[in-house]
Amino acid sequence: MLHIEQNPAVKVDPDKRRTCPRDAGIVLMRHFWSVKRDVVVDECPKCEGIFLDPGELAEIRSDYKSDADRHKAAQAYYREMFDTQLAGMLRQDKAKFESARKVANIFKFISYGLRGSAIRA
């Protein structure tokens, strides 16, 4: 995957906008792969697929000197990508938990009230 042979008959104009090979008609968005701003990749705003030109994967991998560096970068990327989403889910779960606790307390109060009235009767 790092060194894919390029067909010399196919000429790619880097300035021309491309469409997604999965989602016909959707124009790919270009952005820098990292803060180093050395590799530009194409991403589909619909399927979120990332499409690399020949040599770009090798350039991305060369940004990280060792497997440990690549692993650290991947962890940071996924943490950044999912932390906001997970935090939102956690807030929802806490809200559901608090709501369930209130309902349980209401039932507890009602059941104590019913037992108390049965004892007095």
- Per-residue pLDDT at 27: 94
Q: What is the mean pLDDT of the chain?
A: 78
Q: Give 35-39 contacts, CB < 8 A, sequence gap 24+.
A: 36/63, 38/63, 39/63
Each residue's pLDDT tens digit, 25-83: 999 999 888 777 788 899 999 998 988 887 888 888 887 777 787 777 777 777 776 77
> Residue 24 above 60 pLDDT?
yes
Each residue's pLDDT tens digit, 75-102: 777 777 677 777 777 788 888 878 878 8
- Per-residue pLDDT at 111: 66
Which is nearest to 59 in space by CA: 71, 75, 41?
A: 41
One-character DSSP codes across 76-111: HHHHHHHHHHHHHHHHHHHHHHHHHHHHHHHHHHHH
- Per-residue pLDDT at 2: 63
- Per-residue pLDDT at 115: 53
- Each domain of the chain, given as residue ranges in start order, spans 1-63
